[in-house]
Chain A
Protein backbone atom coordinates (compact mmCIF):
# COMPACT_ATOMS: atom_id res chain seq x y z
CA UNK A 1 0.00 0.00 0.00
CA UNK A 2 1.40 3.36 -0.98
CA UNK A 3 0.04 6.82 -1.67
CA UNK A 4 1.93 9.49 -3.58
CA UNK A 5 1.19 13.19 -3.95
CA UNK A 6 3.71 14.62 -6.39
CA UNK A 7 3.31 18.28 -5.45
CA UNK A 8 4.50 19.49 -2.05
CA UNK A 9 3.23 22.98 -2.77
CA UNK A 10 0.63 24.20 -5.22
CA UNK A 11 -0.11 27.88 -5.72
CA UNK A 12 -3.05 29.13 -7.75
CA UNK A 13 -4.87 32.43 -8.08
CA UNK A 14 -8.36 32.94 -6.72
CA UNK A 15 -10.95 31.84 -9.25
CA UNK A 16 -8.57 29.52 -11.09
CA UNK A 17 -9.19 25.78 -11.31
CA UNK A 18 -7.21 23.58 -8.97
CA UNK A 19 -6.25 19.92 -9.14
CA UNK A 20 -4.35 18.14 -6.40
CA UNK A 21 -2.93 14.86 -7.61
CA UNK A 22 -3.03 11.57 -5.74
CA UNK A 23 -1.86 8.19 -6.99
CA UNK A 24 -1.91 4.94 -5.09
CA UNK A 25 -0.65 1.42 -5.30
CA UNK A 26 -2.91 -1.32 -4.01
CA UNK A 27 -3.94 -4.55 -5.63
CA UNK A 28 -7.41 -4.92 -4.12
CA UNK A 29 -10.37 -2.55 -3.78
CA UNK A 30 -9.24 0.38 -1.67
CA UNK A 31 -11.15 3.09 0.12
CA UNK A 32 -9.78 6.51 -0.82
CA UNK A 33 -10.07 9.70 1.19
CA UNK A 34 -9.04 13.32 1.11
CA UNK A 35 -8.30 14.95 4.45
CA UNK A 36 -7.73 18.68 4.92
CA UNK A 37 -5.97 20.65 7.63
CA UNK A 38 -6.71 24.36 7.81
CA UNK A 39 -4.35 26.60 9.71
CA UNK A 40 -4.32 25.81 13.44
CA UNK A 41 -7.05 23.18 13.09
CA UNK A 42 -7.11 19.42 13.34
CA UNK A 43 -7.24 17.22 10.29
CA UNK A 44 -10.73 16.59 9.07
CA UNK A 45 -12.31 14.50 6.38
CA UNK A 46 -13.00 16.42 3.19
CA UNK A 47 -14.46 13.63 1.10
CA UNK A 48 -14.24 9.92 0.35
CA UNK A 49 -14.72 8.09 -2.89
CA UNK A 50 -17.63 5.91 -1.82
CA UNK A 51 -19.76 8.98 -1.06
CA UNK A 52 -19.36 10.41 -4.57
CA UNK A 53 -20.32 13.83 -3.26
CA UNK A 54 -19.06 17.38 -3.64
CA UNK A 55 -17.83 19.09 -0.49
CA UNK A 56 -17.01 22.82 -0.50
CA UNK A 57 -16.99 22.60 -4.29
CA UNK A 58 -14.36 19.85 -4.33
CA UNK A 59 -14.83 16.56 -6.14
CA UNK A 60 -12.63 13.52 -6.56
CA UNK A 61 -13.13 10.54 -8.82
CA UNK A 62 -11.53 7.19 -8.26
CA UNK A 63 -9.85 6.01 -11.46
CA UNK A 64 -8.91 2.40 -10.92
CA UNK A 65 -7.24 2.12 -14.31
CA UNK A 66 -4.84 4.93 -13.53
CA UNK A 67 -4.88 4.23 -9.78
CA UNK A 68 -5.57 7.88 -9.12
CA UNK A 69 -7.89 9.91 -6.90
CA UNK A 70 -7.23 13.51 -7.89
CA UNK A 71 -8.99 16.32 -6.04
CA UNK A 72 -10.51 19.05 -8.19
CA UNK A 73 -12.27 22.35 -7.79
CA UNK A 74 -13.27 24.55 -10.71
CA UNK A 75 -12.85 27.91 -8.96
CA UNK A 76 -10.44 28.15 -6.05
CA UNK A 77 -11.20 30.40 -3.08
CA UNK A 78 -8.74 31.93 -0.62
CA UNK A 79 -10.30 29.92 2.21
CA UNK A 80 -9.25 26.74 0.40
CA UNK A 81 -5.65 27.42 1.38
CA UNK A 82 -4.69 24.46 3.55
CA UNK A 83 -2.73 21.23 3.73
CA UNK A 84 -4.37 18.36 1.85
CA UNK A 85 -3.66 14.70 2.44
CA UNK A 86 -4.76 11.81 0.30
CA UNK A 87 -5.27 8.56 2.22
CA UNK A 88 -6.01 4.95 1.42
CA UNK A 89 -7.37 2.06 3.36
CA UNK A 90 -7.29 -1.42 1.97
CA UNK A 91 -9.51 -4.34 2.72
CA UNK A 92 -11.03 -5.09 6.09
CA UNK A 93 -8.50 -5.00 8.86
CA UNK A 94 -5.99 -2.93 6.95
CA UNK A 95 -4.09 0.12 8.08
CA UNK A 96 -4.72 3.66 6.85
CA UNK A 97 -1.91 4.97 4.65
CA UNK A 98 -1.38 8.67 4.04
CA UNK A 99 0.39 10.49 1.26
CA UNK A 100 2.99 13.15 2.06
CA UNK A 101 0.51 15.98 1.60
CA UNK A 102 0.16 19.01 -0.68
CA UNK A 103 0.03 22.53 0.63
CA UNK A 104 -2.44 24.55 -1.42
CA UNK A 105 -2.00 28.29 -1.46
CA UNK A 106 -4.73 30.35 -3.12
CA UNK A 107 -3.47 33.81 -3.94
CA UNK A 108 -5.73 36.88 -4.09
Chain B
Protein backbone atom coordinates (compact mmCIF):
# COMPACT_ATOMS: atom_id res chain seq x y z
CA UNK B 1 0.00 0.00 0.00
CA UNK B 2 1.30 3.45 -0.95
CA UNK B 3 1.78 5.40 2.22
CA UNK B 4 3.76 7.76 4.40
CA UNK B 5 4.74 6.23 7.73
CA UNK B 6 5.70 8.25 10.78
CA UNK B 7 7.14 6.97 14.05
CA UNK B 8 6.55 7.32 16.89
CA UNK B 9 2.86 8.19 16.75
CA UNK B 10 2.88 9.39 20.35
CA UNK B 11 5.80 10.52 22.49
CA UNK B 12 6.18 12.21 25.83
CA UNK B 13 9.67 13.46 26.57
CA UNK B 14 11.48 15.95 28.76
CA UNK B 15 13.15 19.23 27.94
CA UNK B 16 16.57 18.84 26.39
CA UNK B 17 16.42 15.14 25.55
CA UNK B 18 17.23 14.73 21.86
CA UNK B 19 14.66 12.92 19.80
CA UNK B 20 14.04 11.94 16.21
CA UNK B 21 10.72 11.49 14.48
CA UNK B 22 11.10 9.26 11.46
CA UNK B 23 9.21 9.59 8.19
CA UNK B 24 9.33 7.07 5.39
CA UNK B 25 7.47 6.85 2.08
CA UNK B 26 7.26 3.97 -0.39
CA UNK B 27 6.10 5.89 -3.44
CA UNK B 28 9.49 7.01 -4.78
CA UNK B 29 8.50 10.63 -4.19
CA UNK B 30 11.08 13.37 -4.65
CA UNK B 31 9.42 15.98 -2.45
CA UNK B 32 9.01 15.58 1.32
CA UNK B 33 7.97 18.01 3.99
CA UNK B 34 7.36 18.40 7.72
CA UNK B 35 4.55 20.41 9.31
CA UNK B 36 3.38 21.14 12.79
CA UNK B 37 -0.25 21.71 13.60
CA UNK B 38 -1.33 23.76 16.61
CA UNK B 39 -4.82 24.87 17.68
CA UNK B 40 -5.71 28.19 16.15
CA UNK B 41 -2.53 28.32 14.08
CA UNK B 42 -3.32 25.74 11.44
CA UNK B 43 -0.60 23.91 9.56
CA UNK B 44 2.87 25.45 9.53
CA UNK B 45 5.78 24.14 7.52
CA UNK B 46 9.01 23.32 9.32
CA UNK B 47 11.34 22.04 6.59
CA UNK B 48 10.98 20.61 3.13
CA UNK B 49 13.12 18.70 0.68
CA UNK B 50 12.93 18.74 -3.10
CA UNK B 51 15.16 15.68 -3.46
CA UNK B 52 18.01 13.75 -1.89
CA UNK B 53 20.52 16.05 -0.17
CA UNK B 54 18.33 19.10 -0.93
CA UNK B 55 16.56 20.63 2.08
CA UNK B 56 15.22 24.07 2.85
CA UNK B 57 13.61 25.93 5.71
CA UNK B 58 9.89 26.42 5.96
CA UNK B 59 8.09 28.97 8.09
CA UNK B 60 9.07 27.67 11.56
CA UNK B 61 12.46 25.88 11.34
CA UNK B 62 13.90 27.06 14.68
CA UNK B 63 14.75 24.20 17.00
CA UNK B 64 14.53 21.54 14.29
CA UNK B 65 16.91 19.77 11.95
CA UNK B 66 16.32 17.46 9.04
CA UNK B 67 18.34 15.30 6.70
CA UNK B 68 17.62 13.64 3.38
CA UNK B 69 20.30 11.05 2.78
CA UNK B 70 18.02 8.72 0.86
CA UNK B 71 14.89 9.28 -1.12
CA UNK B 72 12.45 7.40 1.05
CA UNK B 73 13.39 8.85 4.47
CA UNK B 74 13.13 12.34 5.89
CA UNK B 75 13.68 12.32 9.67
CA UNK B 76 12.88 15.32 11.86
CA UNK B 77 15.39 15.90 14.63
CA UNK B 78 14.81 17.91 17.80
CA UNK B 79 18.29 18.37 19.26
CA UNK B 80 17.11 19.96 22.50
CA UNK B 81 13.32 19.88 22.70
CA UNK B 82 11.48 22.58 24.61
CA UNK B 83 7.86 22.75 25.79
CA UNK B 84 6.90 25.11 22.93
CA UNK B 85 7.62 22.23 20.56
CA UNK B 86 4.71 20.30 22.00
CA UNK B 87 2.57 19.81 18.93
CA UNK B 88 1.10 17.45 16.36
CA UNK B 89 3.59 16.80 13.57
CA UNK B 90 2.81 15.67 10.05
CA UNK B 91 5.12 14.41 7.35
CA UNK B 92 4.04 14.51 3.70
CA UNK B 93 5.46 13.56 0.33
CA UNK B 94 4.75 14.18 -3.32
CA UNK B 95 6.12 13.68 -6.76
CA UNK B 96 7.87 16.69 -8.17
CA UNK B 97 6.61 16.91 -11.70
CA UNK B 98 5.83 19.81 -13.95
CA UNK B 99 2.12 19.34 -13.36
CA UNK B 100 -0.65 16.89 -12.79
CA UNK B 101 0.86 14.47 -10.32
CA UNK B 102 1.89 16.79 -7.53
CA UNK B 103 -0.47 15.65 -4.80
CA UNK B 104 0.72 15.59 -1.21
CA UNK B 105 0.22 12.37 0.72
CA UNK B 106 0.27 12.81 4.48
CA UNK B 107 1.35 10.57 7.30
CA UNK B 108 -0.92 9.82 10.24
CA UNK B 109 0.76 12.35 12.50
CA UNK B 110 3.03 12.22 15.55
CA UNK B 111 1.81 13.78 18.76
CA UNK B 112 4.76 15.06 20.75
CA UNK B 113 4.62 16.36 24.32
CA UNK B 114 7.68 18.00 25.85
CA UNK B 115 7.56 18.38 29.63
Contacts and interface: CB of A to CB of B under 8 A. Distances in A.
Q: For this complex, into which size category does the number of interface residues on chain B fall?
A: 20 to 34
B27 interface: no
A75 to B, nearest CB: 27
A87 B41 contact: no
B90 A45 contact: no
Given A42-B106, A92-B97, A98 B90 contact: no
Name the residue among A45, A48, A92, A96 with the largest chain B CB count within 10 angstroms. A96
Name the residue among B33, B45, B56, B103 with the largest chain A CB count within 10 angstroms. B103
Contact of B104 (A50, A92, A96): A96
A51 B99 CA distance: 11
A55 interface: no
A82 to B, nearest CB: 13
B81 interface: no
A44 B102 CA distance: 13
Nearest to A99: B42
B96 A93 contact: yes
B77 interface: no
Given A42-B109, A95-B56, A96-B94, A85 B103 contact: no
B112 interface: no
A92 B98 contact: yes
Interface of B: 31, 33, 35, 40-43, 45, 48, 50, 56, 58, 90, 92, 94, 96-100, 102-104, 106-109
Interface of A: 8, 31, 33, 35, 42-45, 48, 50, 85, 87, 89, 91-93, 95-101
Closest 6 CB pairs of A and B: A101-B42, A100-B42, A43-B106, A92-B98, A42-B106, A98-B43
